[in-house]
Amino acid sequence: MTFLFASFQKKTPENKVDHSVLPNVNNNLTNNQMKEETQYDVIIVGGSYAGLAAGMALGRALRKVLIIDSGNPCNKQTPHSHNFLTNDGKTPKEIASLAKQQVQMYSTVGFLDALVTTGIKTENGFEVEIHTGETFTATKLVFATGVKDIMPNISGFAECWGISVLHCPYCHGYEVRNEKTGILDNGEYGYEFSSLIFNWTKDLTLYTNGKSTLTPEQTLKLRKHNIRIDEREIEKFEHTDGYLQNIIFKNGIAASVKALYARSPFVQHCGIPELLGCELNDDGFIKVDPAQKTTIPGVFASGDNTTRIRTVANAVAMGTNAGMMVNKELIEEEF
Ligand SMILES: Cc1cc2nc3c(=O)[nH]c(=O)nc-3n(C[C@H](O)[C@H](O)[C@H](O)COP(=O)(O)OP(=O)(O)OC[C@H]3O[C@@H](n4cnc5c(N)ncnc54)[C@H](O)[C@@H]3O)c2cc1C
């Protein structure tokens, strides 16, 4: 869960569509079916936890669904996922694979390993195009495309992300409880983060990576709890296979830490909802109502792309809700 710890970065043209992954098109429909089956009730863009949950609800509602996924979920580097009932401690892939296996049991749901590159409104619904140029149409669209965390320019940070550089104590704090821990932050957020992480360990240093912007009151309060404040500028992280050993400062001195918490800015993983006209809120999430409807009729969104509450459990809950609400809307239009 990352609700406190992420900030939105304004979108740049190159992140409108994620070109970092261009999967081989590998779908579960046969080639002939694939040619015939280009019109769906619902296309779900993004087939991780939120997308698969939406797919299951819609499959169980007998809807003809295509889930298109580019295989790049935000937690792919984390060795173990925690805090999701029945799957606590499993790898992210194990959870997603079992979910996909279960959704595949519903014969009206098809999968496509592909990157959706664009989407347009048509007379009767929507058309999406994948990176090979093939197009598919549907009456409704669900975007379960997540967000992309932007790594800061500190050597070693990206390699440690999700392994020993952590975004969320509820996901990973238990495993490093009572360990020598750092927080990379400053000011108000740094103060809030420190008071939160103090719940998991008392051996805590706030690394401000430059002059502290804490207020005198905040500084006093942190000191009262024996939380150290270190203003030295950081050069790099020394690590072994993502497991942090030392923070190396610009003056060449090293500080050993077992784990470090950090916030990362993010962008929407997929820019197509915005191309279709879906509004984002001030925090950079797709605006949705309680039925997961975006501001564009017929377009739904669920999971990390809509909320600060970033957990597998929440993504699954929102995806399930999206699936049910899309089906409800289709029933209202068809009945
Ligand atoms: C490092 C890290 C560790 C975490 N650890 C935990 C944990 O231990 N426990 C926990 O509960 N939560 C954890 N989380 C949070 C959790 O991973 C997310 O809340 C969850 O993955 C959100 O699911 P989602 O389906 O919304 O998005 P994602 O899982 O990010 O999936 C989005 C999917 O959409 C696809 N996609 C995007 N754009 C396109 C496109 N144009 N065409 C086709 N496909 C597209 C992507 O390839 C991806 O597969 C962690 C997060 C991070 C970053």
Structure tokens at 205: 């240093």
User: Which ligand 1 atom minimizes the distance to the CA of 270?
Assistant: 38
SS3 state of residue 275: helix
Whether 49 lines ligand 1, by a CB cut-off of 6 Å, is yes
> Per-residue confidence at 36, pLDDT binned at 50, 70, 90?
low
Whether 116 lines ligand 1, by a CB cut-off of 6 Å, is yes
- Least trusted range by pLDDT, from 30-34, 208-212, 255-259: 30-34
Please answer whether residues 227 and 245 qualify as being in contact, where contact means their C-beta atoms are separated by less than 8 angstroms: no
> Mean of the per-residue pLDDT values for the chain?
91
Rounded average pLDDT over 261-284: 96
Q: Is the pLDDT of residue 98 over 70?
A: yes
Rounded average pLDDT over 55-75: 98
> Per-residue confidence at 22, pLDDT binned at 50, 70, 90?
very low
Provide CB contacts within 8 A for 102, sequence distance 6+.
56
Q: How far is the CA of 254 from the centre of ligand 1 (A)?
A: 33
Q: How far is the CA of 304 from the centre of ligand 1 (A)?
A: 7
User: Which ligand 1 atom minimizes the distance to the CA of 166?
Assistant: 1
For residue range 222-264, list pLDDT tens digits in order. 999 999 999 999 999 999 999 999 999 999 999 999 999 999 8
String of DSSP letters for 78-97: -S---SSTT-TT--HHHHHH
DSSP secondary structure code for residue 70 in this structure? -
Q: Is the pLDDT of residue 189 over 80?
A: yes
Matching residue, tokens 């197509």 = 272
For residue range 121-172, list pLDDT tens digits in order. 999 999 999 999 999 999 999 999 999 999 999 999 999 999 999 999 999 9
